[in-house]
Chains A and B, each alone.
Chain A
Amino acid sequence: MATLAIDALPREESPGRRAARRLAKRRASLAGLFVVLFFIAVAVFAPWISPYDPLATSWSAIRKAPSAAHWFGTDEIGRDVLSRVIYGSRASLLAGIVSVSIALSLGVPTGLLAGYAGRWPDALISRMTDAMLATPFLILAIALAAFLGPSLTNAMIAIGISATPIFIRLTRAQVLSVKVEDYVEAARAVGNSHLRIAVRHILPNVIPPLIVQSTLAVAAAVIAEASLSFLGLGQQPPAPSWGSMLNTAKNYVDNAPWMAVWPGMSIFLLVLSFNLVGDGLRDALDPRHA
């Protein structure tokens, strides 16, 4: 008898489902999501959609304006800008995603440890995190990239490490607020190990703000890669990346502006999209905004 009554009650929506529904309602964020997926598709299918080899130089076609043969024009040694923009999406997306992955894989466990263990591990980690946060992000990234050597991989590592303290802090704050909840104390009372509690009970609550922060961090990382390349520390020529294309293009803005317009716009669109998605996720996952 009782089971029938329970079955008759409407099922409560899972938080994930609710978030997805809310996200779908925000049109801007949805648009952002589509743009992001578009760029990912471009990056994945680059070899098939790119009209030319991004590394193919042509002495006779130097700095030609956009035309039927070259939709985005050519660059300073005759390479097709459209092809380079297409392949460049790989570098920029990689820069964004890998850097944040590094920051997450370093930051979340550290933050969990700091928040959960408390006392001296927390004090030590917090002071080190404060120290890293007190150093301006770009300076840290520049110093790291200079130390490792100019390349896309090293730029990603540098950005990832520089972004780690934010995730440490975020994770730690979440852990601290969840740690005192009843169900955690109950789990402890029942005899669960610390590790089990951390992973099964605390981590799931940390995830929503982490998702939001990660999305925004990817946006920031893409710009950071462009900035490092602007200073000569990111992806090196001839390999294409939007940031290094901008670095070269800045010398030709007067007579070949198309060299800069397209990579610049691409960075802008990609970063804007990530920001929109992040914003939408934040609204969707925040229980306060009904």
Chain B
Amino acid sequence: MNRSRAVLALASLLVYAPLFGQSLRFGLAEDPDVLDPTLARTFVGRVVFAALCDKLFDVDDKLSIVPQLAESYAWSADGKALTVKVRPGVTFHDGEKLDAAAVKFNIERHKNMPGSNRRGELALVTTVDVVDPMTARINLSAPFSPLLAQLADRAGMMVSPKAAAAAGDKFGANPVCSGPFKFVERVAQDRIVLERYPNYWNKGQIFFDKITYLPIVDATVRLANLKSGQLDMIERMQPSDVPGLAGDSRIKVAKITEIGYQGITLNVGKSEQAKTNPIGKDPRVREAFELALDRDGIVQVAMDGEATVGNQWVAPGNPFYAKNVPIPKRDVAKAKALLAQAGMPNPTVTLMTPTNTDQQKIAQVVQAMAKEAGFDVKIQSVEFATSLNMGDKGDFDAYVLAWSGRADPDGNIYSFAACKQPLNYSGYCKQEVDDLLNKSRTASTVAERKKAYDQIAAMTLADRPIVYLFHRHWLWALSNKVAGFKPMPDGLVRVQGLKLQ
């Protein structure tokens, strides 16, 4: 009996042997900040979290919610409580079990830890009850449909309560999470090394033993590393590099439209400057500005065609896109007429942009296009940190600003259009819009939410606190040896199914 077992084991070892020892080297565009889901503040950190920390839910490529650490969920009738059934048999990297108590601990940690960046996301969560060892109930102060999407991001990431309690705010130096890979080491600005967690609940889908994330800020150097074989995969390739890879048989390019957007934020009420600058005080000037722009042209020139034109906070293919407000075509004649109507045929507008090649290119193209309608656009390049300050204080007329995007449309509009919200750089404040935004959050069916968004779009696009330009394409370049990669609109790389041939 023992003999045949041994033979079986040996045989299976041989079958799986090619899969053992597989290691993935991934080039990141920036160095992530602290690897603590509660404190984390950057997009690039989420790329690492995709392998390190599982969350209650995940999204698929259609942005629908799928279960991950949560096996199933159910909303209460009044929409003020979400009951979550925890997947059995899941353990953290230190061996501790995932149960409802752990869920409670994590959500409370996200809400209460000093410096937590998740408080805004879980603002409407009041308490978490442990209904039974594997069932937790999250109570809300008001219905909040975007909650599931929040729990499909960092707010839903579960860390080991034991490790978190022991490490306090130093947890990020040695995160103990529940994902397919566990933390090995991190050298700041050099690399983050993760290794396979043998007891992962979905281990059948994991084919790597080790993943090394290497932040390489310069896109040219990042691609050079991929070409020379030192990396297996890179993110955020430059659009202008795509054609050059067409003939390279060792590398393939994967792309998908992002869930975020690139736009120009206009100061309509953030500061005194809104009252004196032409674009802030007269909606006709804003309309003229938008009509002077040729979105396709901007995409062609500034993004080498690697973007999808849009005019809303979600892309045209998104289920929540308001079809009642289509993308306007360029109309320089109408723009000039509007400016004449407004009594300002040659308005001067200062366009603030951070010193970043992409944003600057967009600014230059916009400047040239708007000139044809009579606008005198002055480009003001400021360092990124300074631009945040100026945006916060309203020291601008127009601001070239992008948003990385959230799975739920609420994440792309609420903080930007509701009165006095932290990301509302334009200073836009309209009671009807606020009411509609609240309705979109409390409504429980997709149809109701869509109706609210259609109305919001009609209003905000007429007022134009933000002129949305386009949605960039996420561009990954990978060695042909990497198989099983599925591009996802949130730009994150899921390691399940990823392997080397």
Contact = CB atoms under 8 A, between A and B. Distances in A.
Interface string A221-239: 0000000000011001110
Contacts of B357: 247-248, 251
Given A149-B382, A255-B240, A232 B356 contact: yes
B366 to A, nearest CB: 11
A63 B244 CA distance: 13
B218 A250 contact: yes
Interface in B39-67: none
Interface of B: 218-220, 223, 238, 240-241, 243-244, 297, 300-302, 355-357, 360-361, 364-365, 367-368, 379, 381-383, 385-386
Interface in A244-261: 247-248, 250-256
A233 B361 contact: no
A254 B365 contact: no
A53 to B, nearest CB: 12
B396 to A, nearest CB: 14
B240 A59 contact: no
Nearest to B381: A236
A76 B383 contact: no
A150 B244 CA distance: 32
B477 to A, nearest CB: 12
A236 B243 CA distance: 28
Interface residues of A, number: 25
A237 B300 contact: no
B364 A238 contact: yes
Contact of A76 (B219, B220, B244, B361): B361
A40 interface: no
Contacts of B240: 63, 76, 251-252, 255-256
Given A77-B365, A150-B355, A237-B364, A59 B301 contact: yes
What 8 pairs across the A-B complex have the smallest Cβ distances? A232-B355, A236-B381, A255-B244, A237-B360, A57-B368, A254-B244, A238-B364, A150-B355
Contacts of A248: 357
18 contacts: A57-B364, A57-B368, A59-B301, A62-B301, A76-B361, A77-B361, A78-B301, A146-B385, A149-B382, A150-B382, A237-B364, A238-B367, A248-B357, A250-B218, A250-B220, A252-B240, A254-B220, A254-B241
A76 B239 CA distance: 12
A224 B368 CA distance: 31
Interface in A20-73: 57, 59, 62-63
A59 B297 contact: yes
B101 to A, nearest CB: 48
Contact of B355 (A233, A250, A251, A253): A233
B381 A150 contact: yes
A255 B241 contact: yes
Given A236-B379, A238-B379, 19 more contacts: A57-B364, A59-B300, A62-B301, A63-B240, A77-B301, A77-B302, A77-B364, A149-B382, A150-B382, A151-B381, A232-B355, A232-B356, A236-B360, A238-B367, A251-B357, A254-B220, A254-B223, A254-B244, A255-B241
B206 to A, nearest CB: 35
